Amino acid sequence: MRPSLRNFALAALLAISLPALGQDRLRAQPVPEPPPPPPGFELDPALEPQVTIRKRGDDQVEEYRIGGKLYMIRVTPPNGRPYFMIDQRGDGKFTRQESHDSGIRPPMWVIHQF
């Protein structure tokens, strides 16, 4: 191998290995603990989801509600994969999804309700 080609190969190998060395240094740093919650902080039980499990025929049906409003149903047949019925817009119309994560969805926040 010629000296110029050897130097080029050595420089390329060094350039490829430097980012890997930097990542190890970042991983070695400890992650700081989150600050404790403020005094008197409690979770609002109205914002916690309530799950109701029922038997409908042979299927097991789990109904998920927040604030009394039904937003998702999980149906588990006895000999099949579970599927989900999800109210995407909050209008009471449920659509079937085979898995809970169907891909990328844009954020849809409720800004104001009348």
- The whole-number average pLDDT for the span 18-35 is 67
> In the chain, how many H helices and how many E strands?
1, 5
- Rounded Cα–Cα distance for residues 99 and 74 (Å): 10
Average pLDDT, the chain: 79
Q: What is the 3-state secondary structure (H, E, C) of 19-35?
A: HHHHHHHHHHCCCCCCC
pLDDT range class, residue 114, cuts 50, 70, 90:
confident
Helix, coil or strand: residue 73: strand
Give, as one character, the DSSP assignment of residue 13.
H
Mean per-residue pLDDT, 4-10:
75
What does the alpha-carbon distance between residue 59 and residue 75 come to, in Å, rounded to a whole number? 7
113: confidence class by pLDDT, cuts 50, 70, 90 = confident
What integer pLDDT is reported at residue 2 of this predicted model?
A: 61
